[in-house]
A and B are shown apart, each in its own frame.
Chain A
Amino acid sequence: DTGVSQNPRHKITKRGQNVTFRCDPISEHNRLYWYRQTLGQGPEFLTYFQNEAQLEKSRLLSDRFSAERPKGSFSTLEIQRTEQGDSAMYLCASPYHTGTGELFFGEGSRLTVL
């Protein structure tokens, strides 16, 4: 598999519920990024993994957000006690080539919090 796969593609939930998104990155690429994008804005960096280690977290990632990458393969992003302000597209990305900033994005997971 040469692409970045994300699921679910769409998630509608009620405020206060927990949601989890999964990302399967480009095979054998050790870096994985999560971004969030709201309407009319560019992607905003959330967090970054090198293998299984979470190396950087944005201040946007409140304590309701947690991300994991067990065994350095797929990654999950969980949002607890969702709020309407969490409604956004959550994007996962892998570099095209190790060590570069040229990112290949997955199709994204769109979250709507009612």
Chain B
Amino acid sequence: QKEVEQNSGPLSVPEGAIASLNCTYSDRGSQSFFWYRQYSGKSPELIMSIYSNGDKEDGRFTAQLNKASQYVSLLIRDSQPSDSATYLCAVDTGRRALTFGSGTRLQVQP
């Protein structure tokens, strides 16, 4: 079992729709969770971090964390073509380095 699992996609949504990206993790002791966006040929950039159960909203982005079920999700409201990218889930397992999933590719259709 991978430590951090994501559906590779592609996830295709129409412009203006809500995109829902999911991530599960195996280490129950994990405390910190992050979403990174990566455009093709570019390096990852941090878009959200979440540390406690529940929802955290930042503009069109909402991160959701459920530690009991060991999943993290990212919702993107009013999706735009510029949101088309690979979204990486990362987990801090306490071993000093983030563990990344393999990413979900999102395609927003104009």
Genuine A/B complex? yes
A residues sitting closer than 8 Å to B (CB atoms) are 33, 35, 40-45, 48, 55-56, 58, 89, 91, 96, 100-108
Residues of B within 8 A of A96 (CB): 46
Contact of A108 among B8, B43, B90 (CB under 8 A): B43
Q: Which residue of A lies closest to B88 (CB)?
A: A42
The A-contacting residues of B in range 92-110, CB under 8 angstroms, are: 92, 95-103
Take A104-B46, A105-B44 as given contacts and tell me if A45 and B34 are in contact as well, using a CB distance cutoff of 8 Å. Answer: no
Take A40-B8, A43-B88 as given contacts and tell me if A103 and B98 are in contact as well, using a CB distance cutoff of 8 Å. Answer: yes
A56 touches B43 (CB 8 A): no
CA distance A58 to B103 in the complex (A): 21
Contact of A45 among B46, B49, B97 (CB under 8 A): B97
The 9 A-B pairs of least Cβ separation, nearest first, read A42-B100, A105-B43, A45-B97, A101-B92, A108-B43, A42-B102, A43-B100, A101-B32, A42-B88
Decide yes or no whether B42 CB sits under 8 A from chain A. yes
Decide yes or no whether B45 CB sits under 8 A from chain A. yes
Q: How many residues belonging to B are interface residues under a CB distance threshold of 8 Å?
A: 22
Take A40-B102, A101-B32 as given contacts and tell me if A107 and B43 are in contact as well, using a CB distance cutoff of 8 Å. Answer: yes
Residues of A within 8 A of B101 (CB): 42
17 additional contacts (CB under 8 A) given A42-B103, A101-B90? A42-B88, A42-B90, A42-B100, A42-B101, A44-B100, A45-B97, A45-B99, A56-B97, A89-B43, A96-B46, A100-B49, A101-B49, A101-B98, A102-B46, A105-B43, A105-B44, A106-B43
CA distance A89 to B54 in the complex (A): 34
CA distance A107 to B92 in the complex (A): 22
B95 touches A56 (CB 8 A): yes
CA distance A75 to B24 in the complex (A): 33
CA distance A111 to B68 in the complex (A): 41
